[in-house]
Amino acid sequence: MARVNELKRQLKPGQVYRREDLAPYSNAVDRHLALLVQDGTLHKIAQGLYYFPKKTAFGASPPDDETLIRSFLKDKRFLLTSPNSYNALGVGTTQLYNKRIVYNLKRHEQVTLNGKTFFFHKTPYFPKKATPEFLLVDLVNNLGSLAEEREQVLKNTLAKAKTVDLNKLKHAVEAYGHSKTKKLFHPVLAEMKNTRYAQAAPV
């Protein structure tokens, strides 16, 4: 039990641990982890992945998605987003999707963690934060997967694009847009650029 207690002392509420993170603190890590899962100290999320729950007035809270993915990937460089994020753009998307997308540098697969399904997309190109400009580009990249009337959503998206910052949109298009997406946005960028020049021209 002394070794199990030593393992317990390494745990912090709300954190997710890989088996390899805890192995240095045990001389029989698999047996000790099994005991901690059995007595409810740890929750097993997936193979080799464990959660030490944070206690609240309503019971044990589940791990937040960011913490879960950070431990799963062993990397903090990722962007977690969802098609639901498009709804805030006001371009006609209203569906709610049970889909979580993780842009990252390591994995390309579908994984279920703690009962949630995550779609990992391996790509070297994603921002640290899902800005409106990125979401406009990302929406057009993924237009074919949406349940809404796509032509109308595309029309609304390109119209919405004219209301955001030109430089930020240009960067998002060039950095994150698929080839077809870039073709769709280039006339919009050109129009925005011409409008800005016209407004800046002396009367």
108: how many CB neighbours lie within 10 A of its CB? 10
Alpha-carbon gap, residue 164 to 159, rounded angstroms: 10
CATH code that applies to domain 2-60? 1.10.10
Domain with CATH 1.10.10 in the chain: 2-60
**Using N-to-C axis directions, what is the helix angle for 150-161 and 132-141, rounded to 10°?**
150
* Of 104 and 95, the one with more pLDDT: 104
Do residues 164 and 133 touch, judged by C-beta distance below 8 A?
A: yes
> What are 43's strand-pairing partners?
51
Looking at residue 130, its amino acid is A
Number of H helices, E strands in the chain: 8, 9
Report the alpha-carbon distance of residue 138 to residue 132 in Å, rounded: 10
Confidence of residue 197 (pLDDT cuts 50, 70, 90): low
Which range has the worst mean pLDDT, 78-82, 103-107, 113-117? Answer: 113-117
Flag whether pLDDT at 180 surpasses 90. yes
The predicted pLDDT at position 202 comes to 56
Segment 79-94, tens digit of pLDDT: 999 999 999 999 999 9
Tell me the C-alpha distance between 33 and 41, whole Å: 9
